[in-house]
Structure 1
């Protein structure tokens, strides 16, 4: 980093120690080191953070077909890390436990992986990343006590499902239960997330704007992703 502001693709490094060293160098030199978590700049994610307050359960699916051009990494650090990063930014708690299962299908790496994350505050997140699915899906769903939120990354859409009322009523034959709900579609300003990310980097580099994602959050996302990958490798080795 010889006097140059840097946008580095994820995963930024293969270890936490290396990541911390890079951020320390950038800080000492007064440079911007930005990690390419492009979903942070998705308009739907921007609106999501305004309406999420106490998530109980989060489910993410990031699925798609196999691309033989991607040889270096599996789905954990290529795809799942996006969802890990978003989830950690939404849940105000540390991860307590990780349960990981997965499989290698088209390569010797993690082509399919499912993770259950348990947080200290009781929230549970379930993440599935796949490059063996013949249909591209990028979704996130959040269950809260008073609403269910569904986000589509690709369409930059958010829908909120709320319970309106419930009642019991008596007919001649039986006691019945009726529950009503309504769906609200949130307005999202749609723009190209990559363009917004690059504009943010330029703003930081030229105008000294504060980075949207603090270094400690970048490092924690990487830490969890590397722990998931390590658990996947141990599971795979135990099956041999």
Structure 2
């Protein structure tokens, strides 16, 4: 059984502690947080040890696995210290506050030979898992456009990053994963309306190496929370609702009737069947942490490893740069 510690017991860290305490392969040995009372409360709930100093915790407990759920600005020092203490490390998304910090975490993982995974939780959403399977089977045909809508009210808990690092990193990672293509250029408009220091609105356009176009609609200014992904292609349109874990396919009957080849502009696209997939709902965080523990036990690369987490950080930096300069950014 693996000995696990969680550093940071805010909203997300508490869930990490709960899941690790329940998993048969893990023993939640300790939690650490600068808020000593918060750490003590979680520790009491799951019969773990509480620490205000995470470095003291690493020295005394020597955990096999450390889950990092602290504010983004602290990811580098906490993750590097845990790796150098000999622990395998899971870091909540985004990997780091900058590419430089993220690379330092990757370097520590390679130097120590420890596993490093990054918490891009939507990759474990049952609707996304099924969508990926269907796309790989060719059900959509060639992709034309991917549109991500991730909007909702302002979250007071997020202070050290804006919507690009907090929310857009979800989408750029998912879109490159689903398309199996790299983003080759991007353009973004960003604004700060109510956040004290960072952007809280993003409208962006992405171009992929396979020719598809991506559209990002992301903000902390919408009174109602929406988490949606739409993909349009030759044979129709997939729609994902991340929140309800629903996946639907709206068929292009022209394509299903074999009329797509040689279609003229006048023939266009016609409405066909609507298919709603029956999916077994699962808590994505549990699936994500179970997958990481499996990677540690079975000694294989995590699904979202450090390199992939670093790619999302790079894209976030480029989006912010484009929003600041109002220029198209081209990526090699």
Same fold (TM over 0.5): yes
Give the corresponding residue for 2:98. 15
Query: Which structure is higher in RCO with an 8 Å CA cutoff and minimum separation 6?
Result: 1
Q: What's the TM-score, normalizing by structure 1?
A: 0.86
Q: CA RMSD in A?
A: 2.0
1:72 pairs, out of 138, 155, 160, with 160
Which shifted more, 217-226 or 190-199? 217-226
Distance 1:178 1:101 in 2: 31
Greater displacement, 60-69 / 206-215: 206-215
Find out whether 1:147 has 2:256 as its counterpart: no
Report how far residue 20 of structure 1 moved: 2.8
The number of residues matched between the two structures is 225
Deviations 1:42-67 (A, max 9, x none): 11111010122432100000010012
Aligned to 1:116, the other structure's residue is in SS state strand
User: Secondary structure of the equivalent of 1:56?
Assistant: strand
Query: In the superposition, relative to structure 1, how do residues 43 and 67 fare at CA in structure 2: closer, same or farther (>3 Å)?
Result: same
User: What are the ranges of 5 or more consecutive residues in structure 2 without an aligned counterpart?
Assistant: 1-82, 258-267, 327-332
Maintained 8 Å contact 1:9/1:35: yes
**Alignment partner of 1:33 is 2:121:** no
Shift of 1:228: 0.5
* TM-score normalized with structure 2 length: 0.63
**d(CA) in 2 for partners of 1:146 and 1:163?**
5
Report what 2:245 is aligned to.
156
Is the Cα–Cα contact under 8 Å of residues 88 and 221 in structure 1 kept in the other structure?
Answer: no
What's the counterpart of residue 129 of structure 1? Answer: 218
Would you tell me which structure has more helix in proportion to its own residues? 2
Residue number among 228, 231, 235 corresponding to 2:322 in the alignment: 231
**Structure 1 residue aligned with 2:284:** 193
C-alpha change, 1:178 and 1:12, in structure 2 (3 Å) is: closer
Question: In structure 2, what is the equivalent of residue 48 of structure 1?
Answer: 131
Give the unaligned 5+ runs of structure 1.
Answer: 167-176, 236-240
Q: State the match for 1:171 in structure 2.
A: none
SS at match of 2:228: strand
Q: Which residue of 1 aligns with 2:50?
A: none
